[in-house]
Structure 1
Amino acid sequence: MNISTKPYFIRALYEWCLDNGYTPYLAVWVNEHTRVPKQFVKNEQIVLSISTTATKDLLIDNEWISFHARFGGVSHEIWIPVGHVLSIFAKETGEGMGFEIEKWQPENVADTLPDTPATNDETPKKKVLKLVK
């Protein structure tokens, strides 16, 4: 089974934005598996700055993008399935890359986000080993 190229492109374009002094932004498709402040979601989408000044503890791994950010002075913990990223782009130029939506399909309840914000370094549960027949 091949790992998606999407998280690699997201990380590369994030670094490209920073190297050029641009502000990296994500456009994200939102559903029940995406943790963002719902009051800023329009038409099932949200656009988020992921710059170093807008985020704390940014992590872009192969399955999730997570960070802390302030909205209206209130801190929020953000969790985005990588498959829900519609695009990453530089705010200043609009240059970036768009992607197809890959809906997050948890295989069981343990794969979903917790109902309440995670604390004490809790992260969503991920399967480590998958049986392929």
Structure 2
Amino acid sequence: MSRSKIPFLIKGLLDWMVEEDLTPYLVVNAKRDGVQVPKAFVQDDGTITLNLSGHAIRNFAIEPDGLGFNSRFQGQPHSIWVPVGAILGLVSREASDGLWFPENQPRVADPSQVAFSDVSSETSAETEQLKDAHQDAGAVEKPRGRPNLTIVE
């Protein structure tokens, strides 16, 4: 089995972000096995975003099977471990430049189990009223005749 390319890409991206004075944010699927992050900071969707800038972390190590470092959350020290399979992306805070790793996105085992909401193709009366109001507000009468300029002294 070949090794994951993600640790190599993370290292290259981090080097680039540091060189460009960008703040690297690691987006992690905290629901994956082996992830060690403070659970109190995990979002409702199961993700956590970790600041990887030099002033925010200590003892940073990129290994073939994951990333590890020490960090503080609300003043409390935490040891962080993120397996490669839990890394969703590395992006900069300032410009959202970076990479997302679709191979690590959660998958549905059986596509037939996906529940789609029943969306009606009919528009509601309220939507029609808003659309009409928007069109009326944008209807500006164009001036008639030939354009002319006036000299102002």
Q: Distance in 2 between matches of 1:7 and 1:17?
A: 15
Question: After TM superposition, where is structure 1 displaced by more than 2 Å over at least 4 residues in a row?
Answer: none
Residue aligned with 2:2, SS: coil
In the alignment, which residue of structure 2 is the partner of 1:128? none
Of the candidates 97, 100, 103, which is equivalent to residue 98 of structure 1?
A: 100
- Return the structure number with greater helix share: 2
In the alignment, which residue of structure 1 is the partner of 2:144? none
In the alignment, which residue of structure 2 is the partner of 1:40? 41
Aligned CA-pair RMSD? 1.4
Q: TM-score, normalised by structure 2?
A: 0.64
Residue aligned with 1:92, SS: coil
What runs of 5+ residues in structure 2 fail to find an aligned partner? 107-153
What runs of 5+ residues in structure 1 fail to find an aligned partner? 104-133
User: Shift in Å at residue 102 of structure 1?
Assistant: 7.5
The letter for the 1-side match of 2:9 is F
Q: After superposition, what is the alpha-carbon deviation per residue over 1:88-121, rounded to whole angstroms, capped at 9, x for unaligned? A: 0111110000002178xxxxxxxxxxxxxxxxxx
In the alignment, which residue of structure 1 is the partner of 2:140? none
Q: Distance in 1 between matches of 2:34 and 2:4?
A: 19
Q: Distance in 1 between matches of 2:19 and 2:63?
A: 20
In the alignment, which residue of structure 2 is the partner of 1:28? 28
**1:5 maps onto 2:5 in alignment:** yes
Residue aligned with 2:77, SS: strand
